[in-house]
Structure 1
Amino acid sequence: MKFALKFISVLLTFTLLIAALATYILVDFTPAAPANQDERVVNDVTQLNPISVSKVIRPVTSAEVIAAIAKTTGPVSIGGGRNSQGGQTAYPDSLHIDMRDFNKVIDLNVEEKWVTVQAGIRWRDLQEIIDKHDLSVKIMQTYANFTVGGSLSVNVHGRYIGEGPMIRSIRSFKIVVADGSEILVDRNSHPDLYFGAIGGYGSLGVITEVTLWLESNTKVRRQTQDMLVSEYPVFFSSEIRNNDHVVFHNADLFPPAYSSVRSVSWLQTTDDLTVDDRLISSNAEYWWQPKVAAFVAESTFGKWLRQHVLEPVLYSFDAVQWRNYEASYDIRELEPTSRERFTYALREYFVPVDRFADFVPKMRAIFQKSDANIINVSIRHALADSGSMLAWAPEEVFAFVVYYRQGTDVQSRADVAKWSGEMIDATLSVGGRYYLPYQLHASRAQFEQAYPGVSKLREVKKRYDPESRFTNLLVEKYVVSSSSL
């Protein structure tokens, strides 16, 4: 009887949802903008930052990387999955090293739980190999399309509890510097390169190989709880932070009121699986997910429907699956049919854990005043960075990951730049920092305040790259340039 009532409830809910979405889904088959066929125009996922480079190479060996640097004299830019969103992977008229074919597993130690890979390998391809040995990535983004080298270069994090920046999982790596030498780097050998290149956005050289610590693959069970945003810090401290069973955790803060959150945790379990697949299929089709995401972005009603109907139905079912399955999401599930008129982008702000209550009202006021089309704010947690020069977590922080939609016209870009600058100021006012892989709207003064360790990075760059060959738009604007504030 209980199951029958639940089934009827779910069926009625989905009927209402389909009725609301039907017209939108059926009519919104806008053809995607044609792909740019010129490989010398390097763009990112937002399609807002096309950059013309002079030449593109796709190496498969370190020798090819070394030769390319030795035989040229101009600027060099480095790209992988191209998911950074502000020109962090390219520079005008540079030699662009596209690392996506540099993607082999070099060594795997199952007993000691570490793996060495070429830097251009995508997390999803690595998962295919280590899953066979019941191993899992220790720290990575939610989505598995990114390359390992690119993730190292921006010092990523994910939803992992008891972890934080990717630097906490990196055993060592190799980097090719401007004189053509390939150097093996770890915390004790060449620590200047280790702490400079991790989160250094390709400013010091080309990362060629990375050795990562791994974890065991386990079964995880989903657990959700709704609450007021004001209740979340105490909930997190008492129920999540020191709970050794929690593997993944985030809390979704719902726009446009930003007053309620939904905690979503995945805890280790021995329960029977509800999903037998060990990984999400790399060939999965995503036709309705982008449509629903677009519908949610279109209106306040869409956002209400997501919070009060769609997700409650989704979370009404038990979910037990493998850790690797939960870590193998594909960004194609969010990709719109076209980015010609509108595009989707990210921002992220890191706030000391004891300043949570100070930051949220500031964020709410900025988003509501600017009428920003925020789709979701995902609250994550990270332990302190272990010493990277551009550390975004010098202390324990909450990360506010902002997913939004914007127009591609000039005025829309200006509007985003305005509220982005205001959000950076709000973050700095509570002792926090903003994340660097996104559009370059921060002023030089804001960057210097958020990342005082850049002075050390500049010193290391002068030693290993005295002619500043390794560059991109971010490096040029904030690291290399000596213009006044």
Structure 2
Amino acid sequence: MPSFFSRHKKGVSLAAIVVALAGVYGFRKAQYYAADPVGEKDCGPLTVPATGTQTQGTAPSAVKPLEGVTWSQLGGTINDVSCLNRAEIFGVVEVKNESDIGKVIAFAREHNLTVTAAGVRHAMGGHAFRKGGIVLDMRKFNAVRVNADAKTMTVQSGAAWHDIQNILHPRFAVKAMQSTDIFTVGGSISVNAHGMDHQAGAMARSIKSMRVMMADGTIEAISRDKNRELFDLVVGGYGLFGVIIDATLEIVDNAVYQTGRRMLDYKDFPATFEREIAPNKNIALMYGHLSTAPSSFLREMLIYTYTKSDDANAVRKDLGEVSGIKMRRLVFNLSKKGGFFQEMKWFSEKHIEHRMENCTVTRTQAIGSGEACLVNRNDPMHDSVPYLRNALKNDTDILHEYFVPRDKLVPFIDAMRDVLLANKTNLLNASVRVVDQEDNFLTYAPQPSFSVVLYINQTTDDEGNAKMRKVTQELIDLTQRFGGRYFLPYQLYASPQQLQAAYPQVHDFFAAKRKYDPNGMFRNTFSEKYAAAVEK
């Protein structure tokens, strides 16, 4: 997920307050844009991109539900965070132990049902469920065991990074995860997530070992050194090869960082990274924001860095939670309403927000009022982005991510700008991150790359879906023209031909799935759309 506000819980920007107080849209409108969501958003029955079928709630089939496990839902429908992929399911089982997983797999095998493991369902293409299948809700399967001497933790796959950080703090920190903490470990491994640590790389590099329950109910212990083929398939395998039970992950010291930021022209970023950031091993975290304001659209760029600091006298505060949620939500939702609000949002980020940083590390021996702002490693990623959830009608926000070779970033952004403007795309946020070559089977980075993360607003009607499909397919074609790839956890608008062009190994990926799961026990809407098509 991209960042829209400071990662260290700064106060709400003055510009945002001015916009709110001005009442540009009136008091009631402001209340509407700031309102908390009430339950999961329901966008109504829509055409599911993966299947092209209408989905309505139904009761379970004639099969008698399995006893001895906790069904949190029988029949009905399920959706993901996009709100666009509602699907009928057999039911949802609340996983509490290993035995629950084994029982469900045996039951599904006996009754010719499919199984999909799910965490917070933040993939946006129905990757965490399949029509008619059983969904394993892994979120209560979340035990964490820390080995301080080995600097590892063994984590059940349903554990959320937010809770893990609270357990590790203040001594240790996560080595690799997404840039926000809402996700589960199993979900992060299944997409081979990456984040702000350009030195640590993606999730795969921090995994010491995993245990995975296979379609026949057996448990495989896998690592880079043991059953490497299956390891490379499970990492970034979207849950199609088995259910991740637990993983042993490397952890690191909760280092102290000095925050930094600088404004530059987007064309200068690749050279700046190569000359100044990459060689400096003390810069542990970094990311960039591109302007979405009309006057500087995708031309101005803010670079945020976190540089290791001498922490001999550091006092680490407890991890805090995001404050000012309603105001943050108001500012963000107003930015969907046109250029004026986007200009105000970018002005605030450029000139005001950094002056309101919440520095979470203090020194026992202060060095005066000009002391640099210090934070823990845990702080920048300890954000569950509650302000992105809303109660807006006929509205959803969609993530895209594109990986391009590092020497192609500038021409890619130039061409991307043309595509977004031509399609009148309501771009809310654009971030740039750094990824190294990743060698899992379905890798998004076969070479060192920059990733461009887009957050786009759309209406949830047929017109909104059609516009998003068009811009998505054009951006995928554009990425391939520059030798890059698109990230697979998002909407399934790519054609089978586009998937094969971006991921030439995808045919072998599905062939390997038949080897490890010959009867198709583990399936989701991603495999439903593409498996048969790429095998032709």
Give the alignment's TM-score, normalised by structure 1: 0.91
* Partners of 1:291 and 1:24 in 2: CA distance: 12
Is residue 13–residue 353 contact of structure 2 (8 Å, CA) maintained in 1? no
Indicate the residue corresponding to 1:94 in structure 2: 133
Structure-2 change in CA distance of 1:25 and 1:468 (3 Å): farther
Is residue 29–residue 337 contact of structure 1 (8 Å, CA) maintained in 2? no
Matched, 1:79 2:115: no
Is residue 280–residue 329 contact of structure 1 (8 Å, CA) maintained in 2? no
1:171 is displaced (CA, Å) by 1.0
Is residue 273–residue 321 contact of structure 1 (8 Å, CA) maintained in 2? no
Per-residue displacement from partner, 1:241-293 (whole Å, max 9, x unpaired)? 121111221111112421111111111223799996332338x5621111110
From 380, 398, 412, the equivalent of 1:326 is 380
One-letter code aligned to 1:27: K
Indicate the residue corresponding to 1:5 in structure 2: none
Give the share of equivalent positions with the same residue, in percent: 29
Indicate the residue corresponding to 1:359 in structure 2: 412
Matched, 1:301 2:340: yes
Indicate the residue corresponding to 2:242 in structure 1: 205
* Gaps in structure 2 of 5+ consecutive residues: 1-11, 43-71, 358-372
Matched, 1:122 2:176: no
From 371, 382, 391, the equivalent of 1:337 is 391
1:424 is displaced (CA, Å) by 0.2
One-letter code aligned to 2:517: D
Does 138-147 or 240-249 show the bigger shift? 240-249
Indicate the residue corresponding to 2:233 in structure 1: 196
Does 13-22 or 224-233 show the bigger shift? 13-22
Is residue 15–residue 348 contact of structure 2 (8 Å, CA) maintained in 1? yes
* Partners of 2:26 and 2:202 in 1: CA distance: 39
From 436, 449, 469, the equivalent of 2:521 is 469
Is residue 73–residue 92 contact of structure 2 (8 Å, CA) maintained in 1? no
Per-residue displacement from partner, 1:303-323 (whole Å, max 9, x unpaired)? 111112344211135632111
1:24 is displaced (CA, Å) by 5.2
Matched, 1:66 2:94: no
* Gaps in structure 1 of 5+ consecutive residues: 1-9
One-letter code aligned to 2:281: D
Indicate the residue corresponding to 1:29 in structure 2: 31
1:139 is displaced (CA, Å) by 0.7
Indicate the residue corresponding to 1:426 in structure 2: 478
Is residue 218–residue 322 contact of structure 1 (8 Å, CA) maintained in 2? yes
One-letter code aligned to 2:326: W
SS at match of 1:200: coil
1:343 is displaced (CA, Å) by 0.8
Is residue 14–residue 352 contact of structure 2 (8 Å, CA) maintained in 1? no
Indicate the residue corresponding to 2:45 in structure 1: none
State the Cα RMSD in Å: 2.3
Matched, 1:53 2:93: no
SS at match of 1:72: helix
Indicate the residue corresponding to 1:390 in structure 2: 442
Per-residue displacement from partner, 1:343-364 (whole Å, max 9, x unpaired)? 1110000001011122111101
* Partners of 1:203 and 1:131 in 2: CA distance: 33
Indicate the residue corresponding to 1:219 in structure 2: 256
* Partners of 1:164 and 1:478 in 2: CA distance: 28
* Partners of 1:187 and 1:109 in 2: CA distance: 20
Matched, 1:141 2:141: no
Is residue 271–residue 320 contact of structure 1 (8 Å, CA) maintained in 2? no
* Partners of 2:247 and 2:141 in 1: CA distance: 12
Is residue 152–residue 166 contact of structure 1 (8 Å, CA) maintained in 2? yes
Is residue 122–residue 145 contact of structure 1 (8 Å, CA) maintained in 2? yes
* Partners of 1:371 and 1:275 in 2: CA distance: 48
One-letter code aligned to 1:476: E
SS at match of 1:127: helix
Per-residue displacement from partner, 1:174-215 (whole Å, max 9, x unpaired)? 111111101111112111110001000011011111111111
Indicate the residue corresponding to 2:365 in structure 1: none
* Partners of 2:16 and 2:180 in 1: CA distance: 27
Structure-2 change in CA distance of 1:311 and 1:483 (3 Å): same
SS at match of 1:173: strand
Matched, 1:41 2:77: yes
* Partners of 1:24 and 1:294 in 2: CA distance: 14
1:463 is displaced (CA, Å) by 1.7
Indicate the residue corresponding to 2:289 in structure 1: 252
Indicate the residue corresponding to 2:59 in structure 1: none
Structure-2 change in CA distance of 1:332 and 1:317 (3 Å): closer
SS at match of 1:395: coil
Is residue 291–residue 336 contact of structure 1 (8 Å, CA) maintained in 2? no
Does 28-37 or 155-164 show the bigger shift? 28-37
* Partners of 1:472 and 1:295 in 2: CA distance: 35
Is residue 141–residue 157 contact of structure 1 (8 Å, CA) maintained in 2? yes
Is residue 75–residue 94 contact of structure 1 (8 Å, CA) maintained in 2? yes
1:435 is displaced (CA, Å) by 0.3
1:478 is displaced (CA, Å) by 2.0
Does 450-459 or 464-473 show the bigger shift? 450-459
Matched, 1:150 2:187: yes
Matched, 1:161 2:201: no
1:394 is displaced (CA, Å) by 1.0
* Partners of 2:281 and 2:287 in 1: CA distance: 16
Does 454-463 or 416-425 show the bigger shift? 454-463
Structure-2 change in CA distance of 1:111 and 1:25 (3 Å): farther
One-letter code aligned to 1:289: R
Is residue 207–residue 249 contact of structure 2 (8 Å, CA) maintained in 1? yes
SS at match of 1:477: helix
Per-residue displacement from partner, 1:350-393 (whole Å, max 9, x unpaired)? 001011122111101000100100011100001110x2111001
Does 241-250 or 196-205 show the bigger shift? 241-250
Structure-2 change in CA distance of 1:280 and 1:450 (3 Å): farther
Is residue 25–residue 291 contact of structure 1 (8 Å, CA) maintained in 2? no
* Partners of 1:131 and 1:481 in 2: CA distance: 47
One-letter code aligned to 1:353: R
SS at match of 1:57: strand
